Amino acid sequence: MRNEMKLNDDWRFHLGEIGSPVKTVKKAGAIGGLTAPLNGEDGEQIAIGQGGKHFLNLISQGDLKRGLRMLAGTDMDSELTEEWNRIAIPHDWSVAVPYVDAPELLMSGSKPENIGYYRKTFSLDASLEENQILLKFDGVMRMASVWLNGIYLGDNISGYTPFEFDITEIAKFGDEGVTVLLVRADTTTGAEGWWYEGAGIYKEVRLQFLPKLYVDDDSFYIYTKEIGGNAVLGCEATFVNRTDKPQTVRPALHVGDQQVAFDEITIEPLRS
């Protein structure tokens, strides 16, 4: 059974550029700064094994933070200032921005383009670690860049397309500390419509927890095969098996008050 956890409350928001975190780094998870736990937040800023600590101390004469800066350019200094406001999602920063007298912006609401940052921390129970976890955005206007726990996840270039990231191997659980999410939304890259589009994370953000065996949402497809006295429908779907053994299932499709049961099928496990 799949479950969801909404991430709509208790965000921090900053309007204006603050210096975008890097997207590539010499050590995985070592971007630091606002993409990782800050002072007072639960969890290590950078996860480093004993061998890594020994090497960093060696190159920095015992100063671990200096060693991270030398090796990976890790941001060890960023912090949340009073300019970071508490907000909830959905959020449109353009609503509170004054109108401007600019003919080129007239059709899109006479609001200036800008850049905004959203940051949220959340905790996950250790019992969730067995699930596949998807971080899903229903809509961010406009160019969105996303970081999680010191790692750059990727970009989304349209404010009208939902997008997601698989964070199963990146999220933190239980006593590992909080998971840190940072989103940069940039509306200065060019409008997509000639109407008012808004700005920022204007739709829900959520986590989806998938079991070991599930139906791939994007694969589910129902179509009309024949039209007559009784219409004939076709149905296609892909099952994903993340266990280490073949699994036998008998799918059933509910359409209104009708149920159609299919033959048993065996789903082979995913192969790396």
Distance between CA 152 and CA 131 in Å, rounded?
22
Q: Which residues of 244-256 are buried (b: 16+ CB within 10 A; e: fewer)?
A: eeeeeeeeeeeee
Q: Position of tokens 């401007």?
A: 100
Contact status, residue 243 vs residue 213, Cβ threshold 8 Å:
yes
- Please work out, in degrees rounded to the nearest 5, the angle formed at the alpha carbon of residue 138 by the alpha carbons of 132 and 141: 130
Distance between CA 67 and CA 45 in Å, rounded?
14
Q: Residue 39's closest CA among 82, 89, 76?
A: 76
The residue type at 175: D
| Tokens coding 195 | 């109407």
The residue type at 235: C
Distance between CA 169 and CA 176 in Å, rounded?
13
Confidence (pLDDT) at 192: 94
The residue type at 63: D
Confidence (pLDDT) at 178: 97
Distance between CA 227 and CA 164 in Å, rounded?
36
pTM: 0.91
Confidence (pLDDT) at 135: 98
Q: Please list the rounded mean pLDDT of every run of 10 residues in the chain (272 residues).
A: 94 96 91 94 87 86 85 90 97 96 91 97 96 97 97 97 97 96 96 94 98 90 89 89 93 87 91 72
Confidence (pLDDT) at 65: 82
